[in-house]
Amino acid sequence: MSTKRFLTWFGLFVLTFTLLIACSPTSSISQNSESSPSVTLTVSAAASLQDALEAIDPLFEQSNPTVQVSYNFGSSGALQQQIEQGAPADVFISAAAKQMDALQAKNLLLADTRRNLLANRLALIVPQNSTLNLTDFRQLTDTGVSKIAVGEPSSVPAGQYAEEVLKNLKLAEPLQPKFVFANNVRGVLAAVESGNAEAGIVYATDAKQSDRVKVVAIAEENLHQPIVYPMAVLSSSSNATAAQTYTEFLFDSQAQNIFQQFGFGRPGAQ
């Protein structure tokens, strides 16, 4: 075989081999990666939102197949501290303005992404089998009530709202020995469900999800600050575009209908 023919044959072989490599496994991986989630969002959200957000999540991920959402639920105060200390998060949804205000003051929110997402009410609950016949917050002073579960006011918004209500009713000081503090609103609910507390103060939405407690009173709205859930994308997010897509989805009619099913209301003028 002449040198010229050999070089021609060898060149064709190299070209064919290169094309085979390009068209097989590598191309397949690329195609698979296009259909798999390429972005994972971390959403830090108030514990009272857990059931609703987990119900909404499949709808969001179906509409946005390249985005997967990882949730971090807890008390808004604890989540605020985590974010301030550098914990990775893309979106923060608080159960009160106080925690969001603190992050905004430190320039930790992405500009123009803060909005009020939801509203809620504050409820007085007792175990489903309670025989105390409570119908009003003022009756918490009765001798039959020895333990009242509430959120820790320093970090749990539900506890802060409860403290406001009881102070305005002049009950905070006389009831102090009866308080059993929980580190999030779900802890308050669990204490009443188990009978470890004769009464508790939670969001109406939390009470709605349990068949082991009953609501005996709803706090008048003039007794506490409006209960709103502000939401914002964090300035440290490495997925800001996807994060904004997520926050916009929560205002979509599909998501809002689910929030309403769980008992949340729409906030007033923002």
Q: Are 220 and 121 in contact (CB under 8 A)?
A: no
Reply yes or no on whether the pLDDT at 23 is more than 80. no
Going along the chain from its start, the domains and CATH numbers come out as 38-119+228-261 (3.40.190.10), 122-223 (3.40.190.10)
pLDDT at 97: 96
State how far the Cα of 48 lies from the Cα of 66, in Å rounded to an integer: 27
pTM, to two decimals = 0.82
Using H for helix, E for strand and C for coil, what is the string for the chain? CCHHHHHHHHHHHHHHHHHHHHHCHHHHHHHHHHHCCCEEEEEEEEHHHHHHHHHHHHHHHHHCCCEEEEEEEECHHHHHHHHHCCCCCCEEECCCHHHHHHHHHCCCECCCCCEEEEECCEEEEEECCCCCCCCCHHHHHCCCCCCEEEECCCCCHHHHHHHHHHHHCCCHHHHHHHEEEECCHHHHHHHHHCCCCCEEEEEHHHHHCCCCEEEEEECCHHHCCCCEEEEEEECCCCCHHHHHHHHHHCCCHHHHHHHHHCCCECCCCC
State how far the Cα of 137 lies from the Cα of 216, in Å rounded to an integer: 9
pLDDT at 239: 97
212-236: pLDDT as tens digits: 999 999 999 999 999 999 999 999 9
Closest CA to 205 of 253, 151, 260, 243: 260
25-55: pLDDT as tens digits: 333 323 333 456 799 999 999 999 999 999 9
Reply yes or no on whether the pLDDT at 14 is more than 50. no
- The rounded percent of the chain whose pLDDT value lies above 90 is 85
61-86: pLDDT as tens digits: 999 999 999 999 999 999 999 999 99
Can you tell me the mean pLDDT for 251-270?
90
Reply yes or no on whether the pLDDT at 178 is more than 70. yes
pLDDT at 36: 63
- The rounded percent of the chain whose pLDDT value lies above 70 is 86
> Which band of pLDDT confidence, cut at 50, 70 and 90, is reported for residue 268?
confident
